């Protein structure tokens, strides 16, 4: 890609903006395809767009006659940047990538960019494991997905275990078993760990599970039905009952999926509903003629945007880092169908079809997606109205200048000072902002174990040091309007001290302390230099604060437990130079545990297969030094 040189307007006391600035750039542009960026006087990106012909597209902005939103954007434009591409398809892909990266104010923006889970049937073990998988597909095995949520995967896995009796335990747990676990007792595993099923029979169950996940479920149920009848006729009633339960489990999977289209093997069904300047996009994942769940998204839009513009932007950003199905079934047509189809096809290395159905089964699928989008947006708008009312009430209760747009709530968690962590959750006008949550591993070596004041000071010190570094001008939306601290006057004083050290004195803070008998509803609120006070027990603002405080506590506790579990699972052998996976296994096999290795004498260590004399001395000295 080339970036043609373009002279910026000359310096002036007041930067030039608007149509004149845009007209100046026309002299430097040709008819190449590419991507353009419009920036304001402070170099903030206002808009990113693509063009088949850059000169023609920019020329369109140099003349009046646009919507109020575009007119406002043009009036703020002080500079422009251009990147030429070889094809318009490349421009489309680059445009969507830059939008996700730069988050321009005047573009459609997909704010929820999560990955989706899959089901993985492993291929590296004689008795493959079936499990949930999220992320890059690096592990060898068969992947089935995406599923819309972890809940959809878990429900399917639960029924698949009943139907096919495949193990879900880790390989290390499998190797360590000497008797079947609870999964076998409740008839969700065939007990391969202790030889209760042959390798051939287990492999057949794996093939059946893969056939089911590939859409050949009817054939499997017919075969199981025939086996059940044969077992019943042979008076093998226990086997017949087990086969009956497996058929029932498969039927439950299908009923839970709801919509199972016969004429659509692999597609994403995308329904859009727009209302009052807001939009909801509902996506149904259809794979192997089965519905693997649906998910709603709420892209940032403006009231003057068309459904075609919103739908095209959503598709481009949504599939930027996700696998593309063979077909996209849309509720609304897009402006560049052929271009988008080509771009997605190049990414997937196969043909991707984009259709807007007018009749038949696909129309029913789209109608269902649009209905879900409409209902989801109605619920969200109702919740937003309630949220706005609560934020106004919070401002009134605590004498704030206005409803806070970003509330940060802090809490710590530890057990007698060990594995200490701090947690920060964020609340905004649209509810909990989970992508803004942060965890802090407490690092202060000088802290006394259990020093909650010291921990809170460390957390806030690190938080505001980073804010001052990353957003010194407070123009990126990263600064809070209100701090909620889980604690009383002591925690508030500690936080106030940190804020003063950083020169940040304009952010109000409130300490939330349990009141009499540490009972919900009797919380006391503390502010620097003021007496403690309480709210009425039936005040909705009180419940709102309790919900935020409880969410911060849940997040901090969960983070602490994860850290503690990791530390408990740590093996001291991992820290010894020269001890890799093979020698670690040999040592554990020989001695039975890391603790026994630490107590072994030098001659015993030398007796382990694969451990040289020098390495034996290294291991022995490591534990002696400890």
pLDDT band at 626 (very low <50, low <70, confident <90, very high): low
Tell me whether residue 550 is exposed, middle or buried, using C-beta atoms within 10 angstroms of its C-beta: 0 to 12, 13 to 18, 19 or more: middle
Q: Give the H or E element holding residue 423.
A: strand 418-428
Q: Which of 219-233, 527-541, 603-617 has the lowest mean pLDDT?
A: 219-233
156 against 92, higher pLDDT: 92
Q: Tens digits of per-residue pLDDT, 413-444?
A: 876 657 788 899 999 998 899 889 999 988 76
Q: Is the pLDDT of residue 6 over 50?
A: no
Q: Is the pLDDT of residue 78 over 90?
A: yes
Note the pLDDT of residue 303.
Answer: 87
CA-CA distance, 499 to 527, in Å (whole number)? Answer: 14
163 against 53, higher pLDDT: 53
Mean pLDDT of 223-249: 78
Q: Pick from 399, 416, 394, 406: which is nearest to 438 by CA?
A: 406
**Residue 239 φ/ψ, nearest 5 degrees:** -65, -40
456 against 406, higher pLDDT: 406
216 against 174, higher pLDDT: 174
Q: Tens digits of per-residue pLDDT, 389-413?
A: 999 999 999 999 899 999 999 998 8
410 against 587, higher pLDDT: 410
SS (HEC) of 222-233:
HHHHHHHHHHHH
Q: Tens digits of per-residue pLDDT, 185-229?
A: 888 898 999 999 999 989 988 888 888 888 766 667 677 778 888
179 token code pair? 């008797």
Range among 145-154, 166-175, 305-314, 379-388 rated most confident? 305-314
Note the pLDDT of residue 4.
Answer: 47
| 464: Cβ contacts below 8 Å, ≥ 6 apart | 498, 499, 502, 504
Cβ-contact 45, 104 below 8 angstroms: yes
Work out the mean pLDDT of the chain and round it to a whole number: 86
Cβ-contact 77, 21 below 8 angstroms: yes
Residue 372 to residues 281, 317, 375, 379: CA-CA distances in angstroms? 9, 21, 5, 11
pLDDT band at 448 (very low <50, low <70, confident <90, very high): low
Note the pLDDT of residue 308.
Answer: 95
Mean pLDDT of 150-159: 83
Q: Is the pLDDT of residue 613 over 90?
A: no
Q: Buried b vs exposed e over 123-156: b needs ≥16 C-beta within 10 Å?
A: eeeebbbbbbbeeeeeeebbebbbbbbeebbebb
Note the pLDDT of residue 563.
Answer: 76
Q: Is the pLDDT of residue 625 over 80?
A: no
Q: Which of 5-19, 171-185, 398-412 has the lowest mean pLDDT?
A: 5-19
Q: Is the pLDDT of residue 181 over 70?
A: yes
109 against 221, higher pLDDT: 109
601 token code pair? 């004498």
Percent of the chain with pLDDT over 90: 39
Domains of the chain: 19-102 (3.40.1440.10), 118-257 (no CATH), 267-378 (3.30.420), 407-567 (3.30.420.340), 572-625 (1.10.150.20)
Q: Determine how β-strand 482-486 pairs with β-strand 407-415.
A: parallel
| 568: Cβ contacts below 8 Å, ≥ 6 apart | none
pLDDT band at 11 (very low <50, low <70, confident <90, very high): very low
Note the pLDDT of residue 259.
Answer: 59
Cβ-contact 220, 249 below 8 angstroms: no
Mean pLDDT of 119-134: 90
Q: Tens digits of per-residue pLDDT, 302-359?
A: 988 999 999 999 999 999 888 899 999 999 999 889 999 999 999 889 999 999 999 8
Note the pLDDT of residue 12.
Answer: 44
Note the pLDDT of residue 518.
Answer: 53
Percent of the chain with pLDDT over 70: 91
33 against 578, higher pLDDT: 33
């Amino acid at each position: 890609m080339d970036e043609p040189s373009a002279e910026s307007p000359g310096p002036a006391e007041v930067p030039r903006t608007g149509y004149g600035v845009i007209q100046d750039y026309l002299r430097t542009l040709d008819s190449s395809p590419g991507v353009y960026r419009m920036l304001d006087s402070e170099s903030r990106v206002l808009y990113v767009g693509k063009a088949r012909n850059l000169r023609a597209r920019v020329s369109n902005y140099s003349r009046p006659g646009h919507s109020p939103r575009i007119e406002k954007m043009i009036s703020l434009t002080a500079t422009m940047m251009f990147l030429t591409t070889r094809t318009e398809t490349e421009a489309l892909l680059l445009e969507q990538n830059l939008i996700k990266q730069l988050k321009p104010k005047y573009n459609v923006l997909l704010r929820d960019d999560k990955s989706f889970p899959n089901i993985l049937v492993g291929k590296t073990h004689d008795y493959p494991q079936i499990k949930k998988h999220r992320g890059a597909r690096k592990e060898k095995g068969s992947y089935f997905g995406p599923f819309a949520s972890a809940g959809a995967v878990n429900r399917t896995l639960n029924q698949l275990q009943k139907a096919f009796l495949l193990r879900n335990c880790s390989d290390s747990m499998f190797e360590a078993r000497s008797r079947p676990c609870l999964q076998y007792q409740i008839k969700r595993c065939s007990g391969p760990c202790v030889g209760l099923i042959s390798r051939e029979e287990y492999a057949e169950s794996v093939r059946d599970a893969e056939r089911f996940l590939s859409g050949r479920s009817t054939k499997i149920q017919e075969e199981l039905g025939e086996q059940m009848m044969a077992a019943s006729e042979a008076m093998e009633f226990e086997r017949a009952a087990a086969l009956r339960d497996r058929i029932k489990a498969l039927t439950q999977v299908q009923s839970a999926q709801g919509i199972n289209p016969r004429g659509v093997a692999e597609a994403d069904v995308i329904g859009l509903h727009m209302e009052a300047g807001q939009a909801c996009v509902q996506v149904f994942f259809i794979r192997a003629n089965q519905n693997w769940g649906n998910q709603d998204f709420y892209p940032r839009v403006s009231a003057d945007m068309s459904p075609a513009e919103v739908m095209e932007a959503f598709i481009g950003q949504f599939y930027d880092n996700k696998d593309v199905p063979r077909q996209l079934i849309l509720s609304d047509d897009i402006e560049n169908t052929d271009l988008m189809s080509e771009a997605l096809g190049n990414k997937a290395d196969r043909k991707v079809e984009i259709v807007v159905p007018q009749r038949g089964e696909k129309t029913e699928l789209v109608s269902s997606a649009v209905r879900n989008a409409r209902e989801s947006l109605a619920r969200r708008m109702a919740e937003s109205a309630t949220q706005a009312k609560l934020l106004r009430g919070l401002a009134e209760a605590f004498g704030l200048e206005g409803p806070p747009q970003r509330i940060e709530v802090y809490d710590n968690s530890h057990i007698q000072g060990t594995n200490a962590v701090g947690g920060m959750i964020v609340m905004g006008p649209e509810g909990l902002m989970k992508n803004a949550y942060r965890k802090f591993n407490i690092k202060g070596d000088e802290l006394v174990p259990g020093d909650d004041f010291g921990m809170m000071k460390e957390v806030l010190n690190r938080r505001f040091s980073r804010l001052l570094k990353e957003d010194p001008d407070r123009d990126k939306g990263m600064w809070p309007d209100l701090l909620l601290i889980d604690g009383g006057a002591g925690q508030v004083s500690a936080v106030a001290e940190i804020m003063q050290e950083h020169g940040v004195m304009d952010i109000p803070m409130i300490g939330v302390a349990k009141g009499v008998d540490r009972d919900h509803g009797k919380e006391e609120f503390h502010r620097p230099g003021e007496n403690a006070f309480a709210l009425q027990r039936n005040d909705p603002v009180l419940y709102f604060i309790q919900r935020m405080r409880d969410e911060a506590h849940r997040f901090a506790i969960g983070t602490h437990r994860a850290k503690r579990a990791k530390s408990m699972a740590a093996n001291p052998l991992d820290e010894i130079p020269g001890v890799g996976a093979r020698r670690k296994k040999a040592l554990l096999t020989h001695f039975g545990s890391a603790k026994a290795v630490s107590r072994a004498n030098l001659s015993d260590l030398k007796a382990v297969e694969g451990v040289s004399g020098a390495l034996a001395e290294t291991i022995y000295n490591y534990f002696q030094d400890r």
